[in-house]
Structure 1
């Protein structure tokens, strides 16, 4: 018999939908809290750098520490939530993120600030690893794309408010309030989440891959040290070379550890299906091309033209405005257009925006051209994220959603981490080593026209690299087509799933209804 909670028109369906929107308000608060925290610092980074007299290496790690710890712990906390309960881990994330924000604002030095950013990242990981799963469980299948569109749209609100808040707070109250303003918001989210979220029975007690998590953390740390050191002191720096060697040496170690683990942190069999493999590759490329865009544009306006934080914050608003417009629109269209089509269209739109930005980096370029490119990138990202997230979550098996979603987010976050590190390295490469610190401090425009021209070369190179990555993402999104009727994950009828089990069918009727007739599979009905 069909579940009455999934049958439109039934009282159970109406009650589930009402509760789902309350849940969406909780998860939306979490996404806004983390998104605002990240984007405020992007614009206000020069104030922090000047306050602590930080060098280029430390300045980069004010941003990278959060991303590294967040990325390396996503799968771990996704699995912990499967074992202990998503509600408990989610609320603990709010508490830890709030405490980290309070202490970050009290930082006596730049490396203490970096450590507190890592504490924030652990709390953010608890929130992010479970938010999408909580949304997927809460909404009826035929409303999943709509709920996901609103959920992703809250990220747009965060990105919309973040730069503006960062500029205003840094200029009026000081950079410490960028962290302290998270405290009341975090407490509100903690109380509201405790009231709305329902307890869910934890999953079976199974081992957590602690060794795999530690090796993954060490590998990512070494790679990021190499990239950030190469950007600040050059690729021939001993630290950069050592980091690259250590990262390369840890790859076979990680493979060996994961082969022996009962529940590996990088169980690629979970994504052995062709559609999931390409959809996650597209997500990685989109994150790599998207994540550093606001930071890159803000540095352009601050370092190249010498404007203040508020002006720079207003100048980058087309990116979050585009996401805010496109995400809920894509969520509404998801009931009539397949998530696959939305993800492909979004990836192409992002590529078009970067193609506009690449030749428009000169200080004298009219702002409407730059703004158009940023807006197209925002619209493309909002459309892609809604379509791609719905497509992947609808195709996942019901068991171990926390683990699998954590793995999906980790892939995307690796792209985000590498995006910032790669962008900062490519951007500052043409600038002389002694002037690179001025890029982060936003004072390069005061040096000389020649120094600004060097930076412009860096901006053109960076946009070219991001455009190439975005186009690769569009190709991967195109290849992530849904299975045809009768196909298993490997293609032929009757094939087995990634772990030798029967192929998992899409869990969302909305995803089924939105597929063309030739692409539908028969849903499981229990």
Structure 2
């Protein structure tokens, strides 16, 4: 099946790859051994990028109540400490995929390290909550520059038959970062102070910048082509309106005028985005990518998995702190089964990828995620023993790690190098859109059960000190949240099942 998309000229595409010809075999062709050694060095660089981003996100998921109590943040401010990062990173992913195609992937990738590190330093110096929100948005710009290019760099560096192994290690590194992140975040929140939640990113960022500068080769710049500024602005506005509506629906109710306006703006902007993007020569949302069933279903399955997966650590950490009354460090230990499951499943799935198709890994991973979330919905009680809760978290983590390895390999293997930057940025944007909606929807479902007057107590993790009645109301929100996420994960499994078919071949228009 053929999907027609606009792609950069060939001159734009050689980003990373095998060593120069003078280090190749005697007949002038690149030495496969040298190429593979270089590919694994590339993995070490890109994995450091994921460590940087993974630790930054997972530490704050657990330590959010500590930050909220320090600034005495309102429920809206509390939500936007998380949502500002997710929104900006999602809305700029395709932009930096295009910018990297034009200015050089290495340069943009390394600039992302520098910007993320600087923003992390400034976030720890925040004098008030809205300055912190702004620095989180600046972190997101740096994260976008990293995420939009890391997968492409790996795909260009590895031989096709070894790509699943490199991708498994790459994704597994994110899982390891998310594995240590909750524990680090809880420990920092209880001992060193909330500022170090952000400052811990600084040494990792400096190390990644230095190692990336020494390892990644300089790459030729392609022909300059216009960036879709109008498309980026419209996508950002639409996501902002939708995210605001979702985040306020829990406390205000879905029929509140403010919530209705947010949803209404989103609905009005969607057809406008379609019209503008169809006319744009290099659209931020290349709708022709969805012209083929296989690639369309694979990307939609990724959206569903991200929506079901991304808020799980945050929701579980709130459960342990707000409902059970434990400290941040104990909550960090409690959510470890999620990243542990991902960390174990991702490299194993990468090895299995030499025997099983990426399609099979994607479908099985989605089903496992749905089963884990379903188990959590059944065991969401304030006095429940930890074993069934930990089993549900672990199963959901295993499913996500398996799905991510299979789905990423399935999509990236189908793309020619000339379109990798833009289409990968689009792929990651779709996935990050699921992350944004996951956090907004999950927080709304959980806190909506207790009403607006108690919502601040949930974010500050002090609700368990009030009354058993308030806690039981909150548990209703947790059960509903897990059940909705399980349904979304099951829908993702159905979409993944429809992504079976021949490799998609994207041709240049």
1:217 match? 236
With structure 2 as the length reference, what TM-score do the two structures score? 0.93
2:403 match? 384
1:157 match? 176
In structure 2, what is the Cα distance between the partners aligned to 1:164 and 1:498? 43
Q: 1:461 aligns with which of 480, 485, 488?
A: 480
In structure 1, what is the Cα distance between the partners aligned to 2:18 and 2:83? 47
1:96 match? 115
1:511 match? none
Kindly indicate whether residue 159 of structure 2 is the aligned counterpart of residue 126 of structure 1.
Answer: no
Kindly indicate whether residue 314 of structure 2 is the aligned counterpart of residue 295 of structure 1.
Answer: yes
In structure 1, what is the Cα distance between the partners aligned to 2:466 and 2:246? 26
In structure 1, what is the Cα distance between the partners aligned to 2:434 and 2:264? 20
Other structure's SS at 1:128 match:
helix
Other structure's SS at 1:437 match:
helix
1:419 match? 438
1:140 match? 159
Kindly indicate whether residue 210 of structure 2 is the aligned counterpart of residue 191 of structure 1.
Answer: yes
Relative contact order (C-alpha < 8 Å, sep 6+): which is higher?
Answer: 2
Q: 1:366 aligns with which of 385, 388, 393?
A: 385
1:54 match? 73
Q: Are the aligned partners of 1:269 and 1:499 in contact in 2 as well (CA < 8 Å)?
A: no
1:350 match? 369
| Deviation string, structure 1 residues 237-271 (Cα, Å, up to 9, x no partner) | 44322222221221122122112211111111123
Kindly indicate whether residue 498 of structure 2 is the aligned counterpart of residue 479 of structure 1.
Answer: yes
In structure 2, what is the Cα distance between the partners aligned to 1:319 and 1:8? 45
Aligned length: 488
1:240 match? 259
In structure 1, what is the Cα distance between the partners aligned to 2:321 and 2:296? 39
In structure 2, what is the Cα distance between the partners aligned to 1:170 and 1:456? 25
Q: Are the aligned partners of 1:146 and 1:332 in contact in 2 as well (CA < 8 Å)?
A: yes
Q: Are the aligned partners of 2:416 and 2:506 in contact in 1 as well (CA < 8 Å)?
A: no
In structure 2, what is the Cα distance between the partners aligned to 1:348 and 1:156? 19
Q: Are the aligned partners of 1:342 and 1:383 in contact in 2 as well (CA < 8 Å)?
A: yes
Q: 1:271 aligns with which of 284, 290, 306?
A: 290
2:457 match? 438
Q: Are the aligned partners of 1:229 and 1:237 in contact in 2 as well (CA < 8 Å)?
A: no
Structure 1 position 232, deviation (Å): 3.6
In structure 1, what is the Cα distance between the partners aligned to 2:484 and 2:248? 19
Q: Name stretches of at least 5 consecutive residues in structure 1 with no aligned partner.
A: 490-496, 502-526
Other structure's SS at 2:217 match:
coil
Structure 1 position 205, deviation (Å): 1.6
In structure 1, what is the Cα distance between the partners aligned to 2:508 and 2:215? 38
In structure 2, what is the Cα distance between the partners aligned to 1:252 and 1:339? 33
| Deviation string, structure 1 residues 152-190 (Cα, Å, up to 9, x no partner) | 000110110110000011111011101011111101100
Structure 1 position 396, deviation (Å): 1.1
Other structure's SS at 2:144 match:
helix
Structure 1 position 8, deviation (Å): 12
Other structure's SS at 2:501 match:
coil
With structure 1 as the length reference, what TM-score do the two structures score? 0.90
Q: Are the aligned partners of 1:272 and 1:498 in contact in 2 as well (CA < 8 Å)?
A: no
Structure 1 position 100, deviation (Å): 0.5
Other structure's SS at 2:92 match:
helix
1:109 match? 128
Other structure's SS at 2:283 match:
coil
2:340 match? 321
Q: Which stretch shows the higher mean deviation, 120-129 or 341-350?
A: 341-350
2:428 match? 409
Q: Are the aligned partners of 1:22 and 1:196 in contact in 2 as well (CA < 8 Å)?
A: yes
Q: Are the aligned partners of 1:273 and 1:498 in contact in 2 as well (CA < 8 Å)?
A: no
C-alpha change, 1:16 and 1:498, in structure 2 (3 Å) is closer
1:510 match? none
Structure 1 position 4, deviation (Å): 9.8
| Deviation string, structure 1 residues 296-337 (Cα, Å, up to 9, x no partner) | 110100000000000000000000110111000000111111
1:250 match? 269
Q: State the 4+ residue runs in structure 1 displaced beyond 3 angstroms.
A: 7-11, 497-501
In structure 2, what is the Cα distance between the partners aligned to 1:422 and 1:94? 30
| Deviation string, structure 1 residues 504-525 (Cα, Å, up to 9, x no partner) | xxxxxxxxxxxxxxxxxxxxxx
| Deviation string, structure 1 residues 92-116 (Cα, Å, up to 9, x no partner) | 0000000110110000111110000
